[in-house]
Amino acid sequence: MKKIFLAATVLSLAFSIQAQEIPERKAERQDRSDLRQKRMHRPGMEMRNLELTEAQREQFKQQRESFQKQMQELKKNDEITVKEWRNKMETLRKE
């Protein structure tokens, strides 16, 4: 009887210890959620903070439109291999 009582006590103690919340893990979860929120920023917020002149904005807009057109043409081209497509896309991004 003593062995059963001792085993039950040890098991209940083990379960209660396991069920306790660990503050370090909770802090890690909070840090992860903060990182996710930082990554999910609103698009275009960086451009507002740059304080560009009107000429610089126009130049940036032209470059962006040119890049978008080139990417659309690349996506429409079905006759190239995946490796060629990746290489062309990398060169477009570097320009």
What does the pLDDT read at residue 65? 92
Mean pLDDT score of the chain: 77
**38-69 tens-digit pLDDT:** 666 655 666 667 778 889 889 988 998 998 89
Q: Are 66 and 58 in contact (CB under 8 A)?
A: no
Query: Distance between terminal CA atoms of the chain?
Result: 80
State mean pLDDT over 65-91.
86
Contact 70, 92 (CB under 8 A): yes
53 SS3 class: coil
Q: Which residue has the tokens 């085993």?
A: 7
12: helix, coil or strand? helix
Which of 95, 73, 94 minimizes the C-alpha distance to 85? 73
**What is the pTM assigned to this prediction?**
0.46
Higher pLDDT, 15 or 76: 76
Left if phi > 0, otherwise alpha if psi is -120 to 50, otherwise beta: which for 51?
left
Percent of the chain with pLDDT over 90: 5
Name the 3-class secondary structure at 77.
coil
State residue 62's pLDDT score: 93
Q: Is residue 88 over pLDDT 70?
A: yes
What's the confidence (pLDDT) of residue 25? 61
